[in-house]
Amino acid sequence: MKKRVSHLLCVCGLATMLAVGALKPSQAFLDKTRFVTDLGVAFFAFHHWVWNPYKAGSFKTSEPHHIKAMVKGGMALLFVVNRVKAADHLAHVSKSPTLHKLAGLIDKLQSGLESEGKSLKAHKFDAASIAALGTSVTSLHSEALKNGYNIKDVPIHIPGL
């Protein structure tokens, strides 16, 4: 009887420890996977709603639906900022030296995204800023690829876009 109670208490204790551990995962739990996924989602939103419309000339005032394209681009950039911030946080808390190295490029990209997102949402278009963002995204992707992280666009539906 005492053995049964002892085993039952051990099993309950282990189950409790597992449940508590699952409720509060480590900050760096699957950090590299989450990092690549966050940037993949961000890159998709950037390419789909900002970069491709920019290359197609959709933001020019001579286009019939340029305001709609700019508003969508601005909203998409705000979403991209959110995902880039998440990736940046992961890069800073991770124990991976590679992610720490990429964090500097993410910081630069993040500030450019925030300012351009606000500009597009306010219906202001600056081609040079968007071209600079494209260069930042490409350089981050290239540096990540050099370090073994292939960041692919991850299609996702953004409500309202």
Residue 158: pLDDT over 80: no
Q: What is the DSSP string of 24-79?
A: S--TTTTHHHHHHHHHHHHHHHHIIIIIHHHHHTTTSTTSTTHHHHHHHHHHHHHH
Q: Tens digits of per-residue pLDDT, 45-65?
A: 999 999 999 999 998 888 888
Does residue 141 fall inside a structural domain? Answer: yes
**Range of 33's domain?**
28-146
* Contact yes or no for 44/83 (Cβ under 8 A): no
Determine the pLDDT at residue 2: 62
Does residue 77 fall inside a structural domain? Answer: yes
Does residue 8 fall inside a structural domain? Answer: no
Does residue 48 fall inside a structural domain? Answer: yes
Does residue 75 fall inside a structural domain? Answer: yes
Q: How many domains does the chain have?
A: 1
Does residue 9 fall inside a structural domain? Answer: no
Q: Tens digits of per-residue pLDDT, 6-45?
A: 555 544 444 554 554 454 445 556 778 889 999 999 999 9
Does residue 14 fall inside a structural domain? Answer: no
Determine the pLDDT at residue 75: 86
Determine the pLDDT at residue 10: 46
Does residue 96 fall inside a structural domain? Answer: yes
pTM of the full structure = 0.74
